[in-house]
Amino acid sequence: MADLPKVKVSFNNDYSKAKLLVQNINIKKDIGEVNISFALGDFVVDRAYLSNDENYHVFEVYDSKTVQQYEFKDFNDLRVQTSQLDDYTLQIDKSIAIPLHGTLLVGQTGSGKTYALYSLILQMITKKVQYNLYFADPKNSSLAVLGDKISEENTATDIDEIIKLLQSFVEKMESRKFEVKEMLNTKLEADYTDFQYEPHIFIFDEFASFQSIIQTMEKKKRDELTKLLSQVILQGRQLGFFLWIVMQKSDASLLPTNLRENLPVKFVLGNAEKQTYVTAFGAGVDIPEKDFVLGQGVLTCPVIADTARICHFSYLDFDILEAVTHLRS
């Protein structure tokens, strides 16, 4: 006689999402590894895990017909959405919001990396807590234009300026370390958010083009830079200092493996080659097969997405530069 597992389904209010529980009847095959999306009609699996009591395989599924992307008609629309979250969390799409972390954003040209930054930067500058943003744009493209509007003194495009900006970022981090040391001693496991410290984020677009210039420099200089970057990546989390690296491919030759591995959040936007996924997420990564549209891709993030999860950055149906100019004046 066949032993059939119990199956339970609970939907959300508008039936766009559901939690599917399949009883763990200890069959030889691990059902959590089985692709069940094909059996769910328009629904696809977003996350799969074993319930705490290990009695059920849990599949969080969503209707692939419902668009996860936000479309903001104007800046105010985005602000209203942003105000739903706490000061240290950013909205990615309708089902994903992530806490601030060091971040790697990868994708081939035109996949929407810089544009994704815009939707995140706009959220940051409307938060109640002041965000201190630093912009490095070695190709002097559109991010530098936005950076000049938001924080001209912290926007750099040529290599020497970028190095200086990074040094001053690390100096500020060092002085905060000193400042919070006493505070942190008053509370175990505390971090900067517990004391309402302002986050500092160093946004580094076109990182590969920076690295290719750095690699022509003397070894001493190169080592010095790698040290600065790893200082931020390793010590910044608790202090509220984050590095965001944006590049087309995260090959070890352009982004040292130990730096990459210590960036907790990783995005790969657009349709990328297998090798791009492997260098971003590590070997053995399982990417949902899908034809990604503009602004769509996958992410991993502690707690929120332990395995690669589909995400879709917002569409901003307004003049971004004008919105920022207006806000600043």
Ligand X SMILES: Nc1ncnc2c1ncn2[C@@H]1O[C@H](COP(=O)(O)OP(=O)(O)OP(=O)(O)O)[C@@H](O)[C@H]1O
CB of 110 to ligand X, least distance (A): 5
Q: Does 112 bind ligand X (CB under 6 A)?
A: yes
DSSP, res 218: -
Residue 37 identity (one-letter amino acid)? S
Closest distance of CB 293 from ligand X, Å: 8
Site membership for ligand X, residue 111 (CB under 6 A): yes
Minimum CB separation of residue 245 from ligand X in Å reads: 13
Q: Nearest approach, Cβ of 105 to Mg ion (angstroms)?
A: 9
3-state secondary structure of 169: helix
C-beta closer to ligand X: residue 111 or 123: 111
| DSSP string computed for 250-294 | --TTTS-HHHHHT-SEEEEESS--HHHHHHHH-TT--PPP----T
- The span from the CA of 114 to the CA of 269, in Å, is 11
Query: Taking CB under 5 A as the rule, does residue 211 contact Mg ion?
Result: no
Residue 114 engages Mg ion in binding (rule: CB under 5 A): yes
Map residues 210-249 to x or -, x wherever contact with ligand X holds by CB under 6 A. Answer: --------------------------------------x-
Site for ligand X in 279-298 (CB under 6 A): 294-295
Beta-ladder partners of 267: 105, 299
Tell me the pairing of strands 296-301 and 265-269. antiparallel
Q: Which stretch in 36-44, 89-97, 107-115, 283-291 sits in contact with ligand X by CB under 6 A?
A: 107-115
Nearer to ligand X, 96 or 170 (CB): 96
Tell me the residue ranges of DSSP E strands in the chain.
7-11, 17-23, 43-50, 56-63, 71-72, 89-91, 97-99, 103-107, 132-136, 155-156, 200-204, 241-247, 265-269, 296-301, 305-312, 315-316
In terms of Cα–Cα distance, which of 247, 240, 284, 252 is closest to 268?
A: 247
Binding pattern to ligand X, positions 10-49, x when CB under 6 A? ----------------------------------------
CB of 113 to Mg ion, least distance (A): 5
What residues numbered 302-321 form the site for ligand X, per CB under 6 A? 313, 315
113, 127, 249, 266: which one binds ligand X (CB under 6 A)? 113
Angle between helix axes 113-124 and 75-82 (nearest 10 degrees) is 70
- Interface residue list for ligand X (CB under 6 A): 107, 109-115, 248, 294-295, 313, 315
